[in-house]
């Protein structure tokens, strides 16, 4: 079968069940589906967070996500990938991001889903600004040194 790929950047929430059913019914050769969902936590760096605003770089966001998925596809024998990342205003427990990978076998699906999330976190142009009791602040990248290391 041909490789199935859907990538969406959107403000609205997504329905995991719809996404899963679409992926699952693509082929009876699918033996494993791994799904990652990132949810908004109500606490960060010890402070209560009431809101999150997700900024992105329209155009580059979609291109970079596509590139990440294509890289995963070159490395592992995948049958399908569905990826949705939300932007805009979010509140605690909201779904932020979803990566769903289908393959004939478990190892490929796990490895590719993990890989896509790793790459997304260090390469896709999204930025989080959070609202706490004491005001708003941009979330610090945990690996900010790494990200800039070989650029200059």
Partner 1 sequence: MIRVLFFASLRERLQCDALELPSEGMSTVQEVFDALLQQSPLFAETLSSPKPLMAVNQEIAHATSPVKAGDEVAFYPPVTGG
Write out the residues near its own copies by the rule CB under 8 A: 16-17, 20, 24-25, 28-43, 92-93, 104, 106, 109-110, 113-114, 117
CB 59, min distance to its own copies, A: 26
Single residue of 18, 21, 50, 144 touching partner 1 by CB under 8 A: 144
Separation between Cα atoms, residue 151 and residue 50, nearest integer Å = 34
Report how far residue 100's alpha carbon sits from residue 91's, in angstroms, rounded to the nearest whole number: 23
Region near partner 1 per CB under 8 A, out of 18-26, 70-78, 107-115, 123-131: 123-131
Q: Which C-beta is closer to partner 1: that of 26 or that of 32?
A: 32
* Rg of the Cα atoms in the chain: 16
In DSSP terms, 52 is beta-bridged to 90, 130
Span interacting with partner 1, options 18-26, 68-76, 107-115, 137-145, rule CB under 8 A: 137-145
Nearest distance from C-beta of residue 63 to its own copies, angstroms:
23
Residue closer to partner 1, measured from CB, 74 or 150: 150
| Partner that binds at residue 138, options its own copies, partner 1, none, CB closer than 5 to 8 Å by kind | partner 1
- Cβ-contact 65, 124 below 8 angstroms: yes
Residues 80/26, Cβ–Cβ less than 8 Å = yes
The CA-based diameter of the chain, rounded to the nearest angstrom, is: 53
**Residue among 61, 13, 57, 69 at smallest CA distance from 37:** 13
With CB under 5 to 8 Å by kind, the binding choice for 92 among its own copies, partner 1, none is: its own copies
Contact between residue 91 and residue 40 where contact means Cβ atoms under 8 Å apart = yes
Stretch that binds partner 1, among 10-18, 20-28, 59-67, 72-80 (CB under 8 A): 59-67
């Amino acid at each position: 079968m041909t490789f199935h790929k859907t990538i969406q950047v959107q403000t609205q929430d997504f329905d995991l069940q719809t996404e899963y059913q679409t992926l699952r019914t693509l082929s009876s050769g699918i033996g494993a589906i791994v799904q990652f969902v990132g949810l908004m936590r109500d606490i960060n760096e010890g402070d209560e967070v009431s809101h999150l605003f997700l900024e992105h770089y329209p155009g580059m966001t979609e291109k970079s996500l596509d590139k990440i998925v294509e890289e995963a596809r070159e490395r592992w024998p995948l049958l399908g990938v569905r990826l949705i990342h939300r932007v805009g205003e979010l509140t605690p427990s909201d779904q932020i991001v979803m990566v769903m990978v289908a393959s004939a076998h478990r190892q490929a699906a796990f490895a590719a889903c993990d890989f896509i999330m790793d790459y997304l976190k260090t390469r896709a142009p999204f930025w989080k600004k959070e609202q706490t009791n004491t005001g708003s602040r941009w979330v610090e990248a945990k690996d900010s040194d790494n990200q800039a290391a070989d650029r200059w």
